[in-house]
Structure 1
Amino acid sequence: MKVLKFGGTSVAHASAILKVENIIKKESSDDKIVVVVSALHNVTDTLIKAAELASVADESYLQFIKGLEEKHLNLVKELIPISGQSSWLSFVKKHFNDIEDLCNGIFILGEFTARIKDKITSYGEFLSSRIIAARLQFQGLDSSWMNAAEYIRTDNRYTHAKVDFEVTERNLKNYFEKNQSQITLVPGFIANDENGNATTLGRGGSDYTASVFASVLNAHELQIWTDVSGMMTADPRLVSNAKVISEISYQEAMELSHFGAKVLYPPTIQPVMIQNIDLRIKNTFEAEAPGTLISQHLKPQDQQIAVGISNMSNIVLLTLEGGGMVGVPGISAKLFQCLSHQNINVILITQSSSEHSITIAISEKDAYQAESAINSAFEDDLKLQRINPLKMESGLSVIALVGENMKSRSGVSAKMFGCLGNNGINIRAIAQGSSEKNISIVISEKDTRKAVNILHEEFFESEVKQAHLYICGTGNVGTKLIQQIYSQNGYLNENLSVNLRIAGLSNSRKMAFSNQGIPEDRYKDALENGETSSASQFTKELISRNLRNSVFIDLTASPEIPEIYEDLLKKSVNIVACNKIAAASDFESYKKLKDLAKKHNCKFFFETNVGAGLPIIGTINDLIRSGDRILSIQAVLSGTLNFVFNHYDGSTPFSEVVARAQKEGYTEPDPRLDLAGTDVARKILILAREAGYTLQFDEIKNTGFLPEECMQGNVEHFYQMLLKYESHFKTLFDEARKQGKILKYVAEFENGKAKVGLQHIAPENDLYHLYGKDNIVILKTLRYSEQPLVVKGAGAGAEVTASGVFADIIRSI
């Protein structure tokens, strides 16, 4: 014998019930079956709603009852042949008259008790099972209907009654000794107490009804048919890559269902587990899919550490603590006893080893009832201050990582907590059973989606790590970076197990977001049609989306954007900055950002602040980390200035050479930022700081070469002044040439002091043979004292700068 249970979505409407009928035909072709059905979808909730409205004298309850009546009448018309409809339409009307009478009584009394609630909600399964049974009989199937309420005996704890297995087993066996139908249709959820009053087995109780039948009848399989293809590695509403679990043990299934895996009502497993009956979860709408097998007879799965992640929302933590608890026996028993008397389920427990505190997690709906019960139970201790006032924290979720193979496997907890910590998720409480099948944590509810995705990626999708990029600035460098990301993503997937997703874009006017990634062929349109952009709004949106492995990329020169870095780092968002302002700000601000990144387990990278794509900062960091010390730095750090002085020979006006550099993308929009040496001064400041020295920007000596008039007015005026002072620039060039030297704008740092300025460079100097837009950095260290370490290459240009940013992005995730 097999027992099949069909949930509310499986019998939601006529077309779904026809699928159920086909499954029943197939499963009953070679075996007797018991079919347990739920109420039609949403019927139970609507019945409760109607009764609640009646209890507050709201006459709209009649509309809800009328709507349900029409739903069932229409179902009869769709499923039952016309010749047989009359009696069944009358049947439906009669019972809805009964429901209305009950609600009228509630309306008059203004009282909706648990006992009446069970009576009213029992109609849902009663009606659906009778109509479906009639359909099967009209189809000529060897079937009968059995009223489970007459055979399942419970106590009188209404809405969550406990089954009396001894009486129930005797009743069911007597029934099936006499009933020889191939198919027995049974309403789930409903039962009777010893006085014949209607009781129910709790929400999800139809699963439990099926399990009771399977256990008593010693069925060889219990099938739970629903609208998903089995238990999933995570809630598919939260994790798009959630997978069906093909096989799972009873114990693992119990842990997952207890902590929120809604595909299975937790008590369902116990009766069939005792009898070693296989339980299979199947999809009514994909009947051929294998589903999930829950069994004791599974093949060993050596490789998979965990089988699934479950989560429960609307959780409250209650903490009882105080010096008067230490060494006092019976405190825990007293706490749990007072909760038990109020029928409050404790989801999670954790206790300090000092016995100074006990923390429990319960459902938010039970919070105030629990608080009242605990305060009453510990009234004397509270008055004498042996115990502190109960501490309550709400807005929380429980997440559980479950798996048999976690047992005695070292490093699971470290892996779990590490990946969450690296994404800025704070853990409020932790519990792990002695069986080591489950690690449960309590976190802020707003972090639930992010945390479940992080854990799923870490334990079930470790082959590919998903990163979410937020790019601020879509000019020359931004455009190149976006192109590089799209073109290189395939390589990163295959070789580094990384997938980059552009989740947000912003320029000075607009911003656009997509959790699933902005497609390559639509990013320009998405930005153009986006909402109005601002640094603060972009930050708020990024933080509110709370996506795992988030990286903020600043490709602007704006002084406003670095102001948001602190907020991002505090949320463990990695930052990659091309913008030099933050790293070159006052030392305290620079140091604060570095410390925040360290404190919140995230990255703050800005390699392209100096030398575009050249590995200068990274090289200095590696030297310092390995115990070396930077003694001096000599460098040409402006690709713009190097380009200008490499191309200026006195025959072409200096203004034209600068204009060419700007046209080819080697200068800032305002070239004076480059030619005044401000940019170079910032770069040497950053290198000195990264080398471990405390240095402020105003301590750098900057010997400029531009006449004062060139620094006044706008960019157009600047070019006019360059032309006016052409003789000045030619003189600078000629003086160097007379000595057989060339002009280079050089940055130097030594003995804690830095300076920048134009120098005459002789042919034997390492800086002499530096062409085009190249940069060079010469590092003298304790290890590289006689033969310095030289980093040289292109130091300007959108392509190389974007590639440097790209490298920082990869390092940050």
Structure 2
Amino acid sequence: MQVLKFGGTSVGSTQAIEQVCSIVAAYKRKGNMAIVVSAMSGITDKLIQCGQLAGQGQEQYKVLLQEIEAKHLDTIRGLFPITVQSGLLSQVKKQLNQLESLCDGIFQVEELSKRSLDKIMSFGELLSSWLVAEKLKHSGLSATWKDSRELIATDAQFGHALVDFDITDHQITSYFQHQQSEYVVLPGFISATIDKETTTLGRGGSDYTAAIVAAAMDANVLEIWTDVSGMMTADPRLVPQAIAIPRISYEEAMELSHFGAKVIYPPTIQPVMNRRIPIWIKNTFAPDDYGTLIQDNGEKAFPVTGISGIQKIALLTLEGSGMVGIPGFSKRLFDALLREKVNVILITQSSSEHSITVGIHESDMLKAKAVVDSEFAQEIHDKRIEPLIVEKDLCIVAVVGDNMKNHHGMSGKFFGALGRNAINVRAIAQGSTEKNISAVINKSDVRKALNVMHEAFFESEAKQLNVFVAGTGNVGGKLLEQLQLQQQYLLDELGLQVRIIAISNSRKMRFSESGLNLQHWKEELAAGDSMDLARFAQKVQAMNLRNSVFVDNTASDEVAGLYATFLQHGISVVTCNKIACSADYANYKKLKDLARKFNASFLFETNVGAGLPVINTLNDMVRSGDKIQTIQAVLSGSLNFIFNHFVNGANFREVVKAAQDEGYTEPDPRIDLSGKDVMRKILILARESGAILEMEDIRNNSFLPDDCLNAKDVPAFYEQLDVHAAHFQQLLQAAAGKGERLKFVAQYDNGLASVGLQSIGPAHPLYHLEGKDNIVLFTTNRYSAQPLIVKGAGAGADVTASGIFADIIRTVR
């Protein structure tokens, strides 16, 4: 015998019912075929609302009754030729008149009992299954309709009746032994007491009906036809990259369904599992898809079979020193919850017996709090235990797999993935069979957590990196260009999928959760919203994407002020903006501490030397135990360009103006010539060496006369350069007279830092530095005889962008 069950969406429209009939007709039968049908999608909810409104004395239930009637009558008109519609319409209206009379009676007494609600809900399955049976008969098939209430016997626990399997199995086998029709259509979900009172089988009741029939008849297979192609490794609405699971064991399916996988419900599995009858989940709208076969365990491609979660969870914690060593507290807690019919989903207890924590549905937390506090009122009064602690707005995420127990490190991988993405775990539980690991987290993190875990356990080939970019000027534009050119390489060679989720500048911002098209980023940004820095930051946090990186290509102190907030949310920060790291030491240390605390990266290689590996080289030495003695460096490409061109016969004013015209200086050259930018850079290097320094601790030996620095504007500044031309010539001639060259040098020497113009001789490595290059000399305990030298282009949009690019990749490597 074959048993097929079709869900609400499978019979939710005229076209869907026709598809069901096509699937049924195409089968090669092996004996009778039982077809179990759910109510049309949305109808059960409307029936429940009808009962509730009628019970509250509200006449709006009549509007819903009209909608239910219209849905079924329209379906008849679409399914059948007009010549046979009259009798069918009459039969449906007769059923709906009974429903209306039942609701009218409830409206009169303004009371809805569970018995009455079961009766009301039964009409959904009764009508849909009858329509399917009539359509099969009209298609020329030998089909009949059978009321499941005459087959499935239960107790009188209305709303969630318990099946009497002895009576039920006898009634089912007796009926099918004498049934001549090839196709028997049954309404799912509904059953009856021995007194013929209508009952229902609870959530997933239609699946359960099919399983009961399949087990009673020892069917070859139970097929569950729904609107998805089987069970998935995760909920595809939350994890778009989820994949279908071709085969899964009964135990794994039960675990996943317990933790929220709604394709199939736990009670469905038990009857057929006892008989070892396979369950095949298929897609009504893609019947050629393989689906998922649930049967005894087999070989798996991954140790984890699936990931799931339960929303709207509350944690109850009973704690106090009065619990330690005293037996019976757990029993009393669970007995109290049992009295209020509160279902416990998760249990964890401290090894010290000081506390016990359980997870329940959030809807039960108020009555749970009341009954537990009442149960332990005396202990609470005596201050031996605390009043029950209730936490809400939580969810449970779980990984499930039969083969997890055969693989080491599953727990480490699970919690490591969550921790790296700043997802806080509130409680932990693991089954003794090692088939699942579950954790309670904040509900706001559920999407992120499921994606993180799916990436960790199923996506070994590619890791997703979600990038938010602020600043699209010279450096930002080059960075986006480089990312676009290297996207495919990163995917192919590093297994890294880099997605630019947001781009912003001072005027516009544009977000796309699926990633922006970098070939047309300028057009995308132009079509974006007006820039609002606070709103930009809020949206980055609200999206809560895994492996998130914020990239700051600006020189804005306002943007730098966002770093702490991002790091606290586990969002890595990559920046070429020197403001944050050269501000107060307390702020610098706070950002470094936040990065460590929340497992986020805070990377700023391009703060010093653009794309040169200066900070990383320094960090590697310090982390490996080396101690920095001195740092000597030329850290300003613009100043090096100026003094390389300020040679005998040159006019200092003309050299500075040429550097400005070439774009090597800021629009106001005093920003470069003052040495403040170099001060920031040596301050950052000193701090990374372990020194506690502030900006005012750095000595600036300025070579510019005060009249030049204090000029009212740039033209006035150039006039003062002419006025003080002799001063600059004197500096040049003094160096040239010794056969030396002028270099603007930054120095750090055992806790002291300074910047200033120096005369450098030919034997020194700084002497031969050309163009706008930078150079850094590290003298350390290990590099004491000869310093370690880092040298190369220290300015330019291309090299700065490449340094930022490298830091972005470093956040995940």
Coarse TM-score class (shorter-chain normalised): over 0.9
Q: Equivalent residue of 1:611, what SS? A: coil
Deviation string, structure 1 residues 627-651 (Cα, Å, up to 9, x no partner): 1111111111111111111123365
Q: Structure 2 matches for 1:209-220, cutoff 5 A?
A: 209-220=209-220
Q: Which residue number in structure 2 is paired with residue 539 of structure 1?
A: 537
Q: Does the Cα contact within 8 Å between 1:761 and 1:768 map onto a contact in 2?
A: yes
Q: Does the Cα contact within 8 Å between 2:3 and 2:36 map onto a contact in 1?
A: yes
Whole-Å separation in 1 of the counterparts to 2:28 and 2:342:
41
From the superposition, tell whether residues 645 and 208 of structure 1 become closer, same or farther in structure 2 (CA, over 3 Å).
same
Task: Out of 754-763 and 725-734, give the one that drifted further.
Answer: 725-734
1:665 to partner: Cα distance:
4.0
Q: Does the Cα contact within 8 Å between 1:565 and 1:575 map onto a contact in 2?
A: yes
From the superposition, tell whether residues 665 and 229 of structure 1 become closer, same or farther in structure 2 (CA, over 3 Å).
farther
1:554 to partner: Cα distance:
1.3
1:283 to partner: Cα distance:
0.4
Q: Which residue number in structure 1 is paired with residue 347 of structure 2?
A: 349
Q: Which residue number in structure 2 is paired with residue 308 of structure 1?
A: 306
1:796 to partner: Cα distance:
0.4
1:713 to partner: Cα distance:
3.0
Q: Which residue number in structure 2 is paired with residue 2 of structure 1?
A: 2
Whole-Å separation in 1 of the counterparts to 2:716 and 2:115:
88
Task: Out of 190-199 and 253-262, give the one that drifted further.
Answer: 190-199
Whole-Å separation in 1 of the counterparts to 2:111 and 2:723:
94
Matched AA of 1:426: N
Q: Which residue number in structure 2 is paired with residue 46 of structure 1?
A: 46
Task: Out of 791-800 and 570-579, give the one that drifted further.
Answer: 570-579
Q: Which residue number in structure 2 is paired with residue 416 of structure 1?
A: 414
1:341 to partner: Cα distance:
3.4
Matched AA of 2:644: N
Q: Equivalent residue of 1:705, what SS? A: coil
State yes or no: 1:516 paired with 2:514: yes
The runs of 5 or more residues in structure 1 that have no matched partner are none
Whole-Å separation in 2 of the counterparts to 1:178 and 1:751:
98
Matched AA of 2:743: K
Task: Out of 338-347 and 403-412, give the one that drifted further.
Answer: 338-347
Whole-Å separation in 1 of the counterparts to 2:396 and 2:217:
36
Q: Equivalent residue of 1:560, what SS? A: helix
Whole-Å separation in 2 of the counterparts to 1:109 and 1:670:
85
Q: Equivalent residue of 2:557, what SS? A: coil
Q: Which residue number in structure 2 is paired with residue 102 of structure 1?
A: 102
1:326 to partner: Cα distance:
2.6
Q: Which residue number in structure 2 is paired with residue 247 of structure 1?
A: 247
Q: Does the Cα contact within 8 Å between 1:320 and 1:357 map onto a contact in 2?
A: yes
Whole-Å separation in 1 of the counterparts to 2:305 and 2:655:
65
Q: Equivalent residue of 1:785, what SS? A: coil
From the superposition, tell whether residues 666 and 29 of structure 1 become closer, same or farther in structure 2 (CA, over 3 Å).
farther
Whole-Å separation in 1 of the counterparts to 2:114 and 2:653:
89
Whole-Å separation in 2 of the counterparts to 1:116 and 1:524:
62
Matched AA of 2:461: E
Q: Which residue number in structure 2 is paired with residue 590 of structure 1?
A: 588
From the superposition, tell whether residues 55 and 743 of structure 1 become closer, same or farther in structure 2 (CA, over 3 Å).
same
Q: Which residue number in structure 1 is paired with residue 752 of structure 2?
A: 753
Q: Does the Cα contact within 8 Å between 1:408 and 1:436 map onto a contact in 2?
A: no
Q: Which residue number in structure 2 is paired with residue 447 of structure 1?
A: 445
Q: Does the Cα contact within 8 Å between 2:603 and 2:807 map onto a contact in 1?
A: yes
Q: Which residue number in structure 1 is paired with residue 779 of structure 2?
A: 780
1:498 to partner: Cα distance:
1.1
Whole-Å separation in 2 of the counterparts to 1:575 and 1:305:
34
Whole-Å separation in 2 of the counterparts to 1:737 and 1:555:
40
State yes or no: 1:258 paired with 2:226: no
Matched AA of 2:737: K
Q: Which residue number in structure 1 is paired with residue 701 of structure 2?
A: 703
Task: Out of 506-515 and 62-71, give the one that drifted further.
Answer: 506-515
1:653 to partner: Cα distance:
4.4
1:380 to partner: Cα distance:
3.6
Matched AA of 2:38: S
Matched AA of 1:400: A
Whole-Å separation in 1 of the counterparts to 2:810 and 2:727:
46
Q: Does the Cα contact within 8 Å between 1:467 and 1:551 map onto a contact in 2?
A: yes
Whole-Å separation in 1 of the counterparts to 2:419 and 2:734:
60
State yes or no: 1:764 paired with 2:763: yes
Q: Which residue number in structure 2 is paired with residue 151 of structure 1?
A: 151
Whole-Å separation in 1 of the counterparts to 2:448 and 2:722:
58
* Structure 2 counterpart of 1:339, from 337, 343, 366: 337
Q: Equivalent residue of 1:484, what SS? A: helix
Q: Does the Cα contact within 8 Å between 2:683 and 2:694 map onto a contact in 1?
A: yes
Whole-Å separation in 2 of the counterparts to 1:715 and 1:176:
99
State yes or no: 1:292 paired with 2:289: no
Q: Does the Cα contact within 8 Å between 2:778 and 2:787 map onto a contact in 1?
A: yes
Q: Does the Cα contact within 8 Å between 2:572 and 2:601 map onto a contact in 1?
A: yes
Q: Does the Cα contact within 8 Å between 1:572 and 1:602 map onto a contact in 2?
A: yes
* Structure 2 counterpart of 1:500, from 498, 509, 514: 498
Q: Equivalent residue of 1:548, what SS? A: coil
Whole-Å separation in 1 of the counterparts to 2:303 and 2:663:
52
Q: Which residue number in structure 2 is paired with residue 483 of structure 1?
A: 481
Deviation string, structure 1 residues 34-68 (Cα, Å, up to 9, x no partner): 11000001000011112212222221111110011
Q: Equivalent residue of 1:27, what SS? A: coil
Q: Equivalent residue of 1:428, what SS? A: strand
Q: Which residue number in structure 2 is paired with residue 737 of structure 1?
A: 736
CA RMSD of aligned residues (A): 1.6
1:483 to partner: Cα distance:
0.8
Q: Does the Cα contact within 8 Å between 1:28 and 1:183 map onto a contact in 2?
A: no
Q: Equivalent residue of 1:353, what SS? A: coil
Q: Does the Cα contact within 8 Å between 2:227 and 2:283 map onto a contact in 1?
A: yes
1:30 to partner: Cα distance:
4.8
* Structure 2 counterpart of 1:438, from 420, 436, 439: 436
From the superposition, tell whether residues 90 and 634 of structure 1 become closer, same or farther in structure 2 (CA, over 3 Å).
same
Whole-Å separation in 2 of the counterparts to 1:669 and 1:57:
76
Matched AA of 2:643: F
1:656 to partner: Cα distance:
4.3
* Structure 2 counterpart of 1:391, from 389, 392, 395: 389
Q: Does the Cα contact within 8 Å between 1:312 and 1:397 map onto a contact in 2?
A: yes
Task: Out of 718-727 and 599-608, give the one that drifted further.
Answer: 718-727
Whole-Å separation in 2 of the counterparts to 1:245 and 1:317:
31
Q: Which residue number in structure 2 is paired with residue 691 of structure 1?
A: 689
Q: Which residue number in structure 1 is paired with residue 18 of structure 2?
A: 18
Whole-Å separation in 1 of the counterparts to 2:474 and 2:442:
40
Q: Which residue number in structure 2 is paired with residue 173 of structure 1?
A: 173
From the superposition, tell whether residues 521 and 491 of structure 1 become closer, same or farther in structure 2 (CA, over 3 Å).
closer
1:557 to partner: Cα distance:
1.1
State yes or no: 1:800 paired with 2:780: no
1:150 to partner: Cα distance:
1.3
1:372 to partner: Cα distance:
2.6
Task: Out of 400-409 and 734-743, give the one that drifted further.
Answer: 734-743
Q: Does the Cα contact within 8 Å between 1:580 and 1:609 map onto a contact in 2?
A: yes
Q: Structure 2 matches for 1:53-68, cutoff 5 A?
A: 53-68=53-68
Q: Which residue number in structure 1 is paired with residue 472 of structure 2?
A: 474
Q: Which residue number in structure 2 is paired with residue 227 of structure 1?
A: 227
Whole-Å separation in 2 of the counterparts to 1:114 and 1:650:
101
From the superposition, tell whether residues 390 and 679 of structure 1 become closer, same or farther in structure 2 (CA, over 3 Å).
same
Q: Equivalent residue of 1:474, what SS? A: coil
Matched AA of 1:618: N
Matched AA of 1:449: R
Q: Which residue number in structure 1 is paired with residue 640 of structure 2?
A: 642
From the superposition, tell whether residues 492 and 341 of structure 1 become closer, same or farther in structure 2 (CA, over 3 Å).
same
Task: Out of 404-413 and 801-810, give the one that drifted further.
Answer: 404-413
From the superposition, tell whether residues 724 and 50 of structure 1 become closer, same or farther in structure 2 (CA, over 3 Å).
farther
Q: Does the Cα contact within 8 Å between 2:484 and 2:519 map onto a contact in 1?
A: no
When the two structures are superposed, what TM-score results if normalisation uses the length of structure 2? 0.97
Whole-Å separation in 1 of the counterparts to 2:253 and 2:659:
67
Whole-Å separation in 2 of the counterparts to 1:412 and 1:662:
59
The runs of 5 or more residues in structure 2 that have no matched partner are none
From the superposition, tell whether residues 24 and 670 of structure 1 become closer, same or farther in structure 2 (CA, over 3 Å).
farther
Q: Does the Cα contact within 8 Å between 1:665 and 1:797 map onto a contact in 2?
A: no
Q: Does the Cα contact within 8 Å between 1:28 and 1:182 map onto a contact in 2?
A: no
Q: Does the Cα contact within 8 Å between 2:640 and 2:770 map onto a contact in 1?
A: yes
Matched AA of 2:638: T
Matched AA of 1:309: I
Q: Does the Cα contact within 8 Å between 1:320 and 1:387 map onto a contact in 2?
A: yes
1:720 to partner: Cα distance:
4.7
Deviation string, structure 1 residues 661-686 (Cα, Å, up to 9, x no partner): 34444334443222110011111111
Q: Which residue number in structure 2 is paired with residue 791 of structure 1?
A: 790
Q: Does the Cα contact within 8 Å between 1:227 and 1:284 map onto a contact in 2?
A: yes
Matched AA of 2:765: D
Q: Does the Cα contact within 8 Å between 1:80 and 1:134 map onto a contact in 2?
A: no
